[in-house]
Structure 1
Amino acid sequence: MYVAVDDTDSLRGNCTTFLATEILSVLSKEMDLIGYPRLIRLNPAVPWKTRGNASLSMRFGKGRGKKTPVGSISGRDIFCFESATSYEPEEDHILDRIIPVIDRRREPDSDTGLIVSRRKPNPSLYWKGVRTILDKSAVEDEIERIGAFKFEAGCGRGIIGAACGMAWRPRASTLELLTYRPEARWGTERIFDPLSIREADRVLPSTFNSWEERTEKVAMVPGTPCPIMYGLRGNDPSELMKGKEIINSEPIERWMVFLTNQGTDDHIIYGAEELIPNRSYYVEGRIVKSRHISGGHVLTDMDTRYGRITVGAYEPSKEFRYLFDNLSEGDTIGVMGELREEPRTLNAEKVHVLGVSDKYEKVSNPICQSCGRTMESIGKGKGYRCRKCHTSAETPQTEKALRWIREGWYEPPAAARRHLSKPLKMTGTEPPLEFVNMRM
């Protein structure tokens, strides 16, 4: 039986993943967890999301095959099985167990949606959910088609995310080990050793987005009042377990490993016929000009097949902004990012510098070919003339300028990356230059 839930968190605290552990705490006493619990990030450009726009999906039944430890809740180990028998729990029984948990834990301003189903929705629903904005009516039609049961609170908008998360069939995936604080410490300052996180990042090659080596900053500890202590992301479950032992933090009350679509770039649309705001695209174009605006942000205009587009690189992306300072008119780039509606900007997540144009700078006024003297300017835009020989020239002496930019991929520091954005580390790519405090 598949169970999916969304929209239970708030900017004030709580989080959907913590609710997933509460559901597991109840249901795992009566039935088995089949496969890892799933944390599915959906369209990051949705205007009304609280934080990471995540939904949760789990499968319960009677397990068979390999048994794998996936977490611990209040000292009780949680396992998952690689497959299930034909036995299916009753929908009403699961709803009776889960709804009180949701009522107790959801935030008052959340619009929770819960779906329980023997069948998964069509996988196309996931791709629509991660790349577009769906109407609730379209999702409800699919819920009815598969014969699923649902529960809603508030306006029930969470039904959309729950259905899209349940529909996910991974083409690519990663893992995240999330640890949770005792409830008495929620909202207080987190206590941890940054150097232990640096050590985990250095000795566990499959982990990502936990430590920013360039600026020596932690990227895996949230700053919100939510229950999470930290989230360690990677591709190897054994390395995540090692990381939990390496990282020194305040005591944790529970932990859980989730299968996720984080770091997959699933949200990026390629080759779109038109650009619609509140979606994320890969767009190529030719640089026109860049400018700085208040707040430390950089805006860059580029000409594309869709017309002129403004690319935004904002202050939280830190040294990533310097890339745009070093681009010049005529350079060609590809940009991955969210198209904001107002102001209409393509907010850069990653940039591929495709071509760097040659630039020339003036060395001196031209030299007279007759007498060897340096010519004099006869006025702005009017050229040059030799006072002695009266010969003329239109342009000065130039030489090829040194460009502090190279072709290749560039990305923001780890703390400024989106959950879904695939780190260059995972592609085996390194930026040809790193702009750290303008040291290149």
Structure 2
Amino acid sequence: MNIVTLAFDDVDSPDGGCTTHFAALFLVEASRLAGVELLDYPLLVRLNPGIPWKTRGNAAVAVRLLVERDPADLWELAVSMAEEYSVGRGWWRWKWFGVAAYPGEAWRDPRLRWLYRRALTGVVTRDVAENAARGARFTGGRGVVGALAALAALAPGEDYTFELTAYRQPWLWGLPRCVVEGGEALRVEAGIPACAFNNVSPEGRVVAAPRGPDPVLAGFRGDCPGYLGLYSRLLCEPPALWVLYRSNQHTDAHGSPLGEVRPYNAGRIPGHVAEPPERIPGGHVVVRLDTPKGLVDAAFYRETGPVARAASLLRPGDSVVVQGTVRPYAPRGIPTIAVDKLVVLSLAPEWRSVAPRCPRCGARMKSMGRGKGYRCPRCGYRDPHARPLRIPAPRGLSPGVYTPPPGWISHLTAPPWRRARRDPPRRPAWGEVLSTQSHPPVSSGAHQSTLPAPPHPPASSGPAQA
């Protein structure tokens, strides 16, 4: 059997549609063809979160198949379906789908691997993507860049998570989603180990359910596909289709060292706090850092919750690492990084002055005036040479990792308590990945995990030890 990888991107628009939904429909059709089997779970590939022309989460999808038939059949099926899916969706002139295909093990191609890593953290133009993908076949518009980048994603040994996605019935698109929230959502969440994450907020809001007009009903995320099907209890409208994806979500795949501090580049960079934090209107916090790339402003938005609160407690001399995206503006004259993860490495000591204690009775002495020493108010002892003592002041901040709360944590950012998994995934059957019924695929409904479940994380998203 031959290995073929097909990848898709930009099969959506701000007015509707969804790349993952299109990939799900393609999987349904591929599963009906003779001589086509899955080599891997379908791959939900998140790319650079800072790209300004993304629709929502900047996701591409790659499908790795084992085929006994002519691979050209799958190529023609994918292209014709993408063209049909794109008709009448109000496409913006700068946005058009991309389809790519690669024969063989795409993850072994060093140029495609470079392209994938570059697309996680930088801006890739079409000519650069095409030059890096000489062994691939592709067609379409700007989506070609993301499709080509996704071909070599999630190579063996790379960290990964899962997402179990439910799609809506077509006649419900654009209408409010029916999900169970509040106390019942919290009860379901409490019964699932911490190997599932970013699905329900501490207030009981189902953050796994989007709010836009796209066909996704909800996408439940975690390391343990065996538990994700339990979230189906939170859906009070019957899904039309389910797909279980393997993904680079919540793995810090974009967290490599920041290269050039240029607009839209993503990554992490170490630094020392150069000035006290500045609060700006709206509850946001800006901290100036001295980094190996020069001075930068780290912007912590109010919505990041624990991250912004921790940033407000930083002081000059503190050692940190920030992870985020370089913004295209510099309101204070130096580059600005929008931070989605803060690692506090060490804290500079702060001191406060206190009066010395009386050597006779132990009471706290009082100053007799500037440079005149101290007097004991209890026994009257005087010491004209006594000076105030300097003692460490409590900081109210601990070294550790700080991330936003569920619902605000970005697609690629890893929760601080999550343990990376690098075990090779087993080859799945169609029924373990895909369900055209209202219930999830068979494997995702099993009450067992493929990974030992860690204890529940603390209620806040920080601190956790780095």
Q: TM-score range by the shorter chain?
A: 0.7 to 0.9
What 5-or-longer segments of structure 1 have no aligned partner? 63-84, 379-383
Counterpart for residue 50 of structure 1:
55
What does the per-residue CA deviation read over 1:232-259, in whole Å, with 9 as the maximum and x for residues that have no partner?
A: 0112222123332x32322222111111
TM-score, length of structure 1 as denominator length: 0.80
Counterpart for residue 152 of structure 2:
167
Change (3 A) 1:338 1:94: same
Instruction: Answer whether contact 2:403 2:461 (CA < 8 A) is retained.
Output: no
Distance in 1 (CA, whole Å) between partners of 2:42 and 2:280 is 43
Instruction: Answer whether contact 2:154 2:247 (CA < 8 A) is retained.
Output: no
Distance in 2 (CA, whole Å) between partners of 1:338 and 1:301 is 15
- Give the number of the structure with larger relative contact order, counting CA–CA contacts within 8 Å between residues 6 or more apart: 2
The structure carrying a bigger strand percent of its residues is 1
What 5-or-longer segments of structure 2 have no aligned partner? 376-381, 420-453
Instruction: Answer whether contact 2:20 2:61 (CA < 8 A) is retained.
Output: yes
Q: Does 1:233 align with 2:221?
A: yes
Change (3 A) 1:192 1:273: closer
Counterpart for residue 360 of structure 1:
351
Instruction: Answer whether contact 2:355 2:367 (CA < 8 A) is retained.
Output: no
Q: Which one of 281, 286, 293 corresponds to residue 306 of structure 1?
A: 293
Q: Which one of 295, 311, 315 corresponds to residue 328 of structure 1?
A: 315
Counterpart for residue 79 of structure 1:
none
Poorly superposed stretches of 4+, deviation over 6 Å: 365-369, 387-390, 428-433
Distance in 2 (CA, whole Å) between partners of 1:434 and 1:199 is 18
* Identity across the alignment (%): 26
- Which residue type is aligned with residue 282 of structure 1? R
Counterpart for residue 212 of structure 1:
201
Counterpart for residue 114 of structure 1:
99
Q: Does 1:413 align with 2:401?
A: no
For the aligned residues, what is the CA RMSD? 3.1
Distance in 2 (CA, whole Å) between partners of 1:402 and 1:435 is 21
- Which residue type is aligned with residue 192 of structure 1? V
Q: Which one of 8, 12, 17 corresponds to residue 5 of structure 1?
A: 8
Change (3 A) 1:362 1:229: same
Instruction: Answer whether contact 1:39 1:261 (CA < 8 A) is retained.
Output: yes
- TM-superposed deviation, 1:22: 2.2
Counterpart for residue 450 of structure 2:
none
- TM-superposed deviation, 1:138: 1.8
Q: What's the secondary structure of 2:25's corresponding residue?
A: helix
Counterpart for residue 28 of structure 1:
31
Counterpart for residue 167 of structure 2:
180
Distance in 1 (CA, whole Å) between partners of 2:191 and 2:198 is 14
Counterpart for residue 209 of structure 2:
221
TM-score, length of structure 2 as denominator length: 0.76
Alignment: residue pair count: 398
Q: What's the secondary structure of 1:275's corresponding residue?
A: coil
Counterpart for residue 251 of structure 2:
264
- Which residue type is aligned with residue 361 of structure 1? R
- TM-superposed deviation, 1:338: 1.5
Change (3 A) 1:128 1:208: same
Q: What's the secondary structure of 2:272's corresponding residue?
A: strand
- TM-superposed deviation, 1:199: 3.2
Counterpart for residue 122 of structure 2:
132
Q: Does 1:94 align with 2:99?
A: no
Change (3 A) 1:54 1:328: same
Instruction: Answer whether contact 1:408 1:431 (CA < 8 A) is retained.
Output: no
- TM-superposed deviation, 1:92: 5.6
